[in-house]
Chains A and B, each alone.
Chain A
Amino acid sequence: MTYHRPIRPAIRNVSRRAFLAGVSAGSFVLSVGLPALAQEKKYAGAGMPNGLREDVKLFVAIAEDGTVTVVCHRSEMGQGVRTSLPMVVADELDADWARVKVAQAPGDEARYGNQDTDGSRSMRHHFMTFRRMGATARAMLIQAAATSWGVPAGEVEAVNHELVHQASSRRIGYGAIAKAAAALSVPASVKLKEPAQFRYIGKEGLPSIDGMDITTGRAGFGIDTRLDGMVYAVIARPPVYGGKVKSFDAAEAMKVKGVLKIVSIDSTPPPSEFGPLGGIAVVASNTWAAIKGREALKITWDDGPNGAYSSDSYKAAMEASVRKPGKVVRNQGDVDAAMAGAARRIEAEYFVPHLAQAPMEPPAAIVRAGDNDCEAWACTQAPQATKTRLAKFLGVPLEKVTVHVTMLGGGFGRKSKPDFIVEAGLLSKAMNGAPVKVTWTREDDLQNGYLHTVSMERLEAGLDASGKLVAWRHRSAFPSIASIFASNMKLPAAFELGMGLVNLPFDIPNIRAETPEAEAHTRIGWFRSVANIQHAFAIQSFVTEIAQALGKDPKDYLLKLIGPARKINPASIGDAWNHGEDPALYPIDTGRLRGVIEAVAKGANWGRTLPKGRGLGIAAHYSFVSYIAVVADVEADDKGTIRIPRIDIAIDCGPQINPERIRAQMEGGVIMGVSNAMLSEITFKDGRVVQSNFDGFEVARMDSAPREVHVHLVPATDYTMPLGGVGEPGVPPVGPALANAIAAATGKRIRQLPMRRQLAG
């Protein structure tokens, strides 16, 4: 039996059917070259590498049978983008959802514009372009029908996949008029629907476009791709970052039945960026033989300078460094003077360990490397980086590299780094062009990943005689993601500072943020919500700690610190990055932050009397230009075992395109937040990761997840408001809300994650 399924549905098929063959078969292709908005400094989608494309020719096709195909150029990793983008087009196009299909774009930013699926940006950057493309297609269909009937276009309506002329009771399907529409010139401007006319946008109840494939096992993930003649590889990589092979003996490995070849891969020295870690690869006729072959390898490693990395001593060093001044990254008022004059000072230190993204589908890729070209099938969040790195490492021209984007079995930032795809490319070359599938085992994923950083945060508050908070100092020490790109990067990058450290929207007269140096000894990478994790954990735990010290209600106290509703220019408080968004469109709106706190408090019935051993905790955090607040409800039994009966989360992300998926992202964000707060940690000893699988690296399961998650969507005033992010911002406030709830339930304040460690015994 052969089962040959590269990615489905591939954009090339769409091209053949609807674009090329389509000319004669009557398919409809629209092209609108709407001029880009004139902007001085480029923000949002236009500010991303390779910018934003708005071209119906590329993104929308209508076939003769009426099938509407919308190209999705963002990677699907559970956020629902393959449903949400087509929804937007379908709505403006008045298409019947049952006749809308999605086609996944290959990696090609010259054609599609930026494709990096990260930063909670997909809907935020593409809602308006996809709306306009849908509306343009509708306008052209209407014009074509009007012309063929000899009636004014104003009398023709688009109604659920048909053009209708009421007065003469004529109607024609989209497919039948598509060819005529394609022959028309493209309107210079199009009228968008009024939001009251939306039938999909902002509505609940549309089934996910991939639901049937997923529930029947037919969805094609990166690890599922199969090609004729394909061979399978696993790789023994240096256990220490920067290490390499000193010597190896493959004699026993070659004896394993099914092992075909042993290939040595050069290690990329730090900073290794997206380069392969190197090591010894075992290529075999199936994954199991490759795994067994790898077990039989005898390798001596040269560990290099990171061989001394140990989490215990590193933590002690970070503790020492946050007790000394660091680089000042925000300075408002005079913190030193205010602290010196304070009647009372409160201080606390918070620790968040390394975390692994651990997507359920580990990194896996298939590459076929030809003499002067290469073709990859991969679960990548970064198709263009995949293309450029394959070109670089394989020495083939960029235009000869094809990257097919499969479904991603989770990403969470891990799959923004294409090192695993480069490995498959190098191995295919070593196998004379046979397609090679590289599978990372779970052990590889946890031990050779790009981890969330490790951080120590020190917070100090100075209160005057009346109890008013007059001085706030925050020192944040953590190795930066920048360390994978350049050597000697010991300070956070601007984007990491703008993740909750400098852009603290509190109404306090004297605020200072400092960053002591921290050196990286492993690969640091993006992890869903990134540096917001440690900043929100520290700040939002500290707020409740101060409230408790003053005998105040934590929710009221949080609102008091945020102060009155106002719009803050992020640049004015030291955040020049602002998630890449225009500060005029995206100020920090403390009114909206207050709004989610009120919404979650109401939803969770904050302030209700609770039985002994039960506690509520609250936290709020602004990130990815969205506002989130969380209330956690925890229960401690006599033995101190913690259960989480319920978590409430409120989000204000501006206009909600696909509310059902926003709910899902909030539910998922809460549960990932629970994993981070309660269970997960990656630690090092002798430069090596201690944990190797889901027994050591624990994540939330059905019995450790909250029994109930209640999502409260704060409605936008209207659709002219700019959109906020959804994929990531749910995570950061969960940890502090849980720590605050546990403190309320047990009296025990936990400042070090994961909390299970402090709860035991």
Chain B
Amino acid sequence: MAFTIKLNGQDRSVDVEGDMPLLWVLRDVLGMTGTKYGCGAALCGACTVHIDGVAVRSCQTPVSDAEGRAVTTIEGLSRDGTHPVQVAWRELNVAQCGYCQVGQIMSAAALLADNPKPSDDDIDAAMSGNICRCGTYPRIRAAIHRVAAGGRR
């Protein structure tokens, strides 16, 4: 079946089964590998994208649910890596292996769009769905606070 999604501002049509999770549509069908697989069960957040501005787990989002909606992936978060979250992430060298960081950045960007000055508890609530096995949580927290404070200090 054909589905059309507004992917990073452009209409994209794919001909796939309606139950195929958006994650695999992005990665395997469209070749956009920025969005990661980590668990396939909404338990790790590696696959986080925005749909209509809300952070969702693309591994649990059938493409049929994304039909006609605006999907933003890391490839579209900014043109050149200059979204304030991406900048803060680099300034604090947040990433270790980097694999989870796309999902972390997408979750953090959604959090900050919604709540520009999150408290530590807000960060816990919004970010605990994203696992980082390398253990970058202290820097993720610091980077979110940095963005909230207006960037580099």
> Given known contacts A215-B89, A702-B140, is B31 in contact with A226 (CB within 8 Å)?
yes
Q: A26 → chain B, closest Cβ, in Å? A: 31
Q: B81 → chain A, closest Cβ, in Å? A: 4
Q: What's the Cα separation between A708 and B137 when bound, in Å?
A: 9
Residues in A neighbouring B81, C-beta threshold 8 A: 212, 215-216
Partner of B97 from A78, A287, A661, A702 at Cβ < 8 Å: A78
Partner of B38 from A76, A80, A286, A360 at Cβ < 8 Å: A360
A210 touching B98 by the CB < 8 A rule? yes
Q: B59 → chain A, closest Cβ, in Å? A: 10
A694 adjacent to chain B (CB < 8 Å): yes
Binds B, one of A131-139, A327-335, A475-483, A664-672: A664-672
Partner of A693 from B32, B39, B78, B98 at Cβ < 8 Å: B39
Residues in A neighbouring B134, C-beta threshold 8 A: 78, 360, 410, 668, 671
Q: Which residue of A lies closest to B43 (CB)?
A: A694
A232 adjacent to chain B (CB < 8 Å): yes
Number of interface residues, chain B, beta carbon within 8 A: 61
Q: What's the Cα separation between A59 and B3 when bound, in Å?
A: 49
A497-554 residues with Cβ-Cβ distance < 8 A to B are: none
A701 adjacent to chain B (CB < 8 Å): yes
Residues in B neighbouring A264, C-beta threshold 8 A: none
Partner of A360 from B35, B41, B100 at Cβ < 8 Å: B100
* Chain A interface mostly: loop
A214 adjacent to chain B (CB < 8 Å): yes
Partner of B28 from A5, A286, A360, A706 at Cβ < 8 Å: A286
Residues in A neighbouring B132, C-beta threshold 8 A: 360, 671
B99 touching A360 by the CB < 8 A rule? yes
A-contact bits for B123-146, CB 8 A (1 contact / 0 none):
111011111111111111100000
B2 adjacent to chain A (CB < 8 Å): no
B36 touching A361 by the CB < 8 A rule? yes
Q: What's the Cα separation between A318 and B77 when bound, in Å?
A: 53
Partner of A208 from B73, B86, B95, B124 at Cβ < 8 Å: B95
A-contact bits for B63-101, CB 8 A (1 contact / 0 none):
000000000011100101100001001100101111111
Partner of B95 from A215, A667, A671, A705 at Cβ < 8 Å: A215
A664 touching B93 by the CB < 8 A rule? yes
Residues in B neighbouring A257, C-beta threshold 8 A: 17
Partner of B96 from A1, A668, A702, A706 at Cβ < 8 Å: A668
Partner of A667 from B38, B100, B130, B136 at Cβ < 8 Å: B136
A360 touching B40 by the CB < 8 A rule? no
A224 adjacent to chain B (CB < 8 Å): yes
Q: B67 → chain A, closest Cβ, in Å? A: 17
B135 touching A694 by the CB < 8 A rule? no
B46 touching A360 by the CB < 8 A rule? yes
Residues in A neighbouring B46, C-beta threshold 8 A: 360
Q: What's the Cα separation between A709 and B138 when bound, in Å?
A: 7
A699 touching B34 by the CB < 8 A rule? no
> Given known contacts A215-B81, A215-B105, A287-B28, is B75 in contact with A361 (CB within 8 Å)?
no
A441 adjacent to chain B (CB < 8 Å): yes
Q: What's the Cα separation between A514 and B21 when bound, in Å?
A: 53
Q: Which residue of B lies closest to A207 (CB)?
A: B90
A286 touching B24 by the CB < 8 A rule? yes
Residues in A neighbouring B131, C-beta threshold 8 A: 360, 694, 699, 701
Q: What's the Cα separation between A147 and B111 when bound, in Å?
A: 60
B101 touching A702 by the CB < 8 A rule? no
A360 touching B93 by the CB < 8 A rule? no
A702 touching B33 by the CB < 8 A rule? no
Number of interface residues, chain A, beta carbon within 8 A: 72
Q: What's the Cα separation between A221 and B43 when bound, in Å?
A: 21
Q: What's the Cα separation between A78 and B37 when bound, in Å?
A: 18
B-contact bits for A190-208, CB 8 A (1 contact / 0 none):
0000000000000000011
Q: What's the Cα separation between A80 and B96 when bound, in Å?
A: 7
A214-234 residues with Cβ-Cβ distance < 8 A to B are: 214-221, 223-224, 226, 232
Q: What's the Cα separation between A199 and B118 when bound, in Å?
A: 37
B138 touching A667 by the CB < 8 A rule? yes
Q: A190 → chain B, closest Cβ, in Å? A: 31
> Given known contacts A361-B97, A409-B97, is B102 in contact with A705 (CB within 8 Å)?
no
> Given known contacts A360-B36, A442-B40, A664-B96, is B31 in contact with A412 (CB within 8 Å)?
no
Q: What's the Cα separation between A210 and B81 when bound, in Å?
A: 13
A288 adjacent to chain B (CB < 8 Å): yes
Q: Which residue of B lies closest to A216 (CB)?
A: B81
Q: What's the Cα separation between A667 and B96 when bound, in Å?
A: 10
Partner of B41 from A207, A289, A442, A661 at Cβ < 8 Å: A442
Q: What's the Cα separation between A1 and B33 when bound, in Å?
A: 13
A384-436 residues with Cβ-Cβ distance < 8 A to B are: 407-412
A695 touching B124 by the CB < 8 A rule? no
B152 adjacent to chain A (CB < 8 Å): no
Q: Which residue of A lies closest to B89 (CB)?
A: A215
B90 touching A702 by the CB < 8 A rule? no
B137 touching A705 by the CB < 8 A rule? yes
B43 touching A358 by the CB < 8 A rule? no
Q: B43 → chain A, closest Cβ, in Å? A: 4
B135 touching A669 by the CB < 8 A rule? yes
A79 adjacent to chain B (CB < 8 Å): yes
Q: What's the Cα separation between A545 and B81 when bound, in Å?
A: 51
B36 touching A1 by the CB < 8 A rule? no
B120 adjacent to chain A (CB < 8 Å): yes
B149 adjacent to chain A (CB < 8 Å): no
Q: What's the Cα separation between A286 and B21 when bound, in Å?
A: 11
Q: What's the Cα separation between A624 and B8 when bound, in Å?
A: 47
Q: A711 → chain B, closest Cβ, in Å? A: 10
Residues in B neighbouring A410, C-beta threshold 8 A: 96-97, 99, 133-134
A665-691 residues with Cβ-Cβ distance < 8 A to B are: 665, 667-672
B96 touching A694 by the CB < 8 A rule? no
Q: What's the Cα separation between A694 and B41 when bound, in Å?
A: 9
A182 adjacent to chain B (CB < 8 Å): no
B-contact bits for A266-304, CB 8 A (1 contact / 0 none):
000000000000000000001111010000000000000
Q: What's the Cα separation between A79 and B97 when bound, in Å?
A: 7
Residues in A neighbouring B133, C-beta threshold 8 A: 358-360, 410, 412, 672, 699
Partner of A78 from B24, B96, B125 at Cβ < 8 Å: B96
Q: Which residue of A lies closest to B33 (CB)?
A: A224
Q: Which residue of A lies closest to B85 (CB)?
A: A215
Partner of B135 from A77, A287, A668 at Cβ < 8 Å: A668
Residues in A neighbouring B31, C-beta threshold 8 A: 1-3, 226
Residues in A neighbouring B78, C-beta threshold 8 A: 216
B113 adjacent to chain A (CB < 8 Å): no
Q: What's the Cα separation between A216 and B101 when bound, in Å?
A: 9
A660 adjacent to chain B (CB < 8 Å): yes
A700 adjacent to chain B (CB < 8 Å): yes
Partner of B90 from A211, A700, A701 at Cβ < 8 Å: A211
Partner of A707 from B33, B99, B101, B120 at Cβ < 8 Å: B120
Which of A219, A362, A699 has the most chain B CB within a 10 Å cutoff?
A219
B51 adjacent to chain A (CB < 8 Å): no
Residues in B neighbouring A216, C-beta threshold 8 A: 34, 74-75, 78, 80-81, 86
Listed by A's residue number, 6 A-B pairs whose Cβ atoms lie within 8 Å are A2-B31, A78-B95, A212-B90, A287-B24, A410-B133, A702-B124
* Other contacts beyond A210-B95, A217-B73, A701-B137: 13, CB < 8 A: A208-B95, A211-B95, A217-B33, A217-B75, A287-B37, A407-B97, A410-B133, A660-B93, A667-B136, A671-B132, A699-B133, A701-B131, A703-B125
Lowest 10 A-B CB distances belong to which pairs?
Answer: A217-B34, A409-B99, A671-B135, A3-B31, A78-B96, A78-B97, A214-B98, A217-B74, A668-B135, A286-B28
Interface, chain B (partner A; CB < 8 A): 16-17, 20-21, 24, 27-41, 43-44, 46, 73-75, 78, 80-81, 86, 89-90, 93, 95-102, 105, 120, 123-125, 127-141
